[in-house]
Chain A
Amino acid sequence: MDALAPLIAASMNAGTPLMLAALGLLINEKAGVINLGSEGMMLVAAALGFAVTVHSGSPATGFLAGAAAGALLAGVFAWLTVWLGANQVACGLALSLFGVGASAYIGMPYVGATIQASSWGIPGLERIPFLGPALFQHHPMVYGALVLCAALGHFLYRTRAGLVLRAVGESPESAHALGYKVRRIRLAALLFGGACCGLAGAFMSLVYTPMWVEGMVAGRGWIALALTPFATWRPARVLAGAYLFGGITILTFHMQALGVPIASQLLSMLPYLATILVLVLISRNIDWIRINMPASLGKNFNPNS
């Protein structure tokens, strides 16, 4: 039991950046737009969030700067794809490549800088044996991500605005005919998604590994992209997927340190194997995908044609 609490805590921590980014991408995709620029947005936000925190001394300001940076890049993406009708896949890839270089440039003076790492906890609850160290000693953003997940589940399926957003993703033509501003709604969804990726990036450089080094996001933006089909575009399943992925990664580390006689190369495949396995199981039931996948995903819409 004693070994289990840090395992759970580390899994939540490792899953949080994945969940934040994947929730943002889920909202994009529910509006019918796929933004492959998540890795780039996370990197720029990580560099900028760290730089702002070094200067201001306030991680909260750093998170805001990260979210703003993500939203700004997503805004450029929205202008290119939603207004100019550029190919979403090409623009997204370009954004990711741009982010790698831009973040390296922004972060250059901050390589080796340090920020104050502080410990957190929910007063009262953190003292509970086992549950305290496992669940209640996290950075506020870990709980923020959980709240965001619940809020998005409510928004998408319990509110009128959520219904409109899904309508835009299913059939932009119909939504347009009903008088909804498809392009503005997609812009809003993209800005929100960018801000979420920004928060995820800032979480990486401010909480997860409190430092900036080039390329520190290390592919988590791409994993977040894979999480949305994994979760069949359902927020609660994004949560499960992110924690599962984080959890298996951490579990393989603990197994190695305990000397479990399995080769480390095999163990490092486990998170991906688990992902593939779940995808296969989901695909067996074609309705799960068909019901939840936005019908216009990746297709541009021109209201004037």
Chain B
Amino acid sequence: MNATMLRKTLQALTAASAVALAAAAPASAEPLKVGFVYVSPIGEAGWTWQQDTGRREMQAALGDKVKTQYVEDVPEGADAERVIRDLAQQGNQLIFTTSFGYMNPTIKVAKQFPDVKFVHSTGYKTAPNVATTNARFYEARYVAGMLAGKVTKTKVVGYVGAYPIPEVLQGINAFTRGLRSIQPDAQVRVIMVNSWFDPGKERDAALALLDQGADIVTHHTDSTATVQAAEERGKHAIAYHSDMSKFGPKAQLAAVTHHWGPYFTREVQSVLDGTWKSNQVWGGFKEGMVALEGFGPGVGDDLKAFLKQQEDAIAAGTLNPFAAPIKDNEGKVRLAEGALDDKGLNAMDYYVEGVVGKLGKN
């Protein structure tokens, strides 16, 4: 079962159970109010767009049993606390705060509203009424690397990164390992633009990588600039966050995406059922939270089937993007046996063998 099917099935299941519950409790009064806080405008692609797509999927699955509300473009910091408190005061029973920088404000407001439930994305602090969630983007990055390995002719792939933090390094390293599982001597060149969002710099970085012989570029930044740069040069790109084929109809090989609808639906449903408990979810292919989709015209059916097999293997746990041995790009063995655990993933501070580039010493 691929990610999309899994997602649909889950939706159908939750919808079915919703119907069953509605039948069991015909006198259900007010709809459950659910609030969302977004860090940027919803736009047409990117992190917040994916979050809002999840909200709409959840609303569609649960119908009139929930009433959602969102506040977009909320800066991380003091403003966030005010917005989250506002949402709690307006009677929202469950509030999703969808950016890392909302972590402390969420915990603070959660203390003041012990009866309201909170779900914070990509953070690590929890409380009895605060759950956390994140996606294993690196799983899809690994498969994307394999795709790049099948397509690249120059055996050089460019990667535009934002900052050298564990989340970004996990993606770069998984991608490189996937790439080299197909082309053992291929290399990944990385440029960190030191910004999550600066289309001008992202574009210049992508062009610099293409100028240095990369025939595929991918990115871990928020704009569509990398895909557009590849399109203009007649080269290939692997998009991140959302399907960006509109911006690179020929260039886009695929997109590494994340999906929140089924997860949001499960969380809301458990609040409706009264079974909600604080938990920590870090979901990948298996949970339908990440996907490789939006395949371009250059990706044939055979290749798609091959990639699908890899996804299934990762979902089943038979393939691990970070299985030993893991060697960094200075030759040091980082893991001799087994597979990297979540603690190791969250502490990642090195490039694996095959990445051209150097990280600051820490």
Contacts and interface: CB of A to CB of B under 8 A. Distances in A.
A117 B361 CA distance: 41
Contact of A14 (B204, B225, B247, B358): B204
Contact of B199 (A211, A254, A257, A259): A211
Contact of A112 (B44, B194, B197, B205): B44
A213 B223 contact: yes
Contacts of B357: 256-257, 259, 264
Nearest to B187: A259
Given A114-B246, A218-B195, A265-B194, A259 B189 contact: yes
A162 interface: no
A10 B208 contact: yes
B200 A14 contact: yes
Given A114-B247, A264-B164, A264-B360, A250 B208 contact: yes
A264 B194 contact: yes
A45 to B, nearest CB: 15
A174 interface: no
Given A253-B191, A256-B191, A258-B356, A10 B204 contact: yes
Contact of B208 (A117, A253, A264): A253
Nearest to A11: B204
B225 A249 contact: no
A208 B203 contact: yes
Contacts, number: 118
B43 interface: yes
A75 interface: no
A3 B198 contact: no
A258 B194 CA distance: 17
B247 A209 contact: no
A6 interface: yes
Interface string A184-225: 000000000000000000001000111101111010100000
Contact of B43 (A6, A213, A249): A213
A262 interface: yes
A256 B164 CA distance: 13
B200 A265 contact: no
A1 interface: no
Contacts of B200: 14, 204, 208-209, 216, 218, 220
A263 interface: yes
Interface in B199-227: 199-205, 207-209, 211-212, 223-225
Nearest to A219: B198
B189 A257 contact: yes
Q: Max chain B CB contacts within 10 Å: which of A210, A253, A259, A268? A: A253
A220 B201 CA distance: 11
Interface string B10-26: 00000000000000000
Interface of A: 3, 6-7, 10, 14, 104, 108, 111-112, 114, 117, 204, 208-211, 213-216, 218, 220, 249-250, 253-254, 256-266, 268
30 contacts: A3-B212, A6-B208, A7-B208, A7-B211, A10-B204, A112-B43, A209-B199, A209-B223, A209-B228, A211-B199, A211-B224, A211-B225, A211-B228, A213-B43, A213-B224, A218-B195, A218-B197, A218-B199, A249-B201, A253-B193, A253-B205, A254-B208, A254-B211, A256-B191, A257-B209, A257-B356, A257-B357, A258-B212, A264-B359, A265-B164
Given A10-B204, A265-B194, A268-B193, 6 more contacts: A3-B211, A3-B212, A104-B41, A112-B45, A211-B225, A218-B195
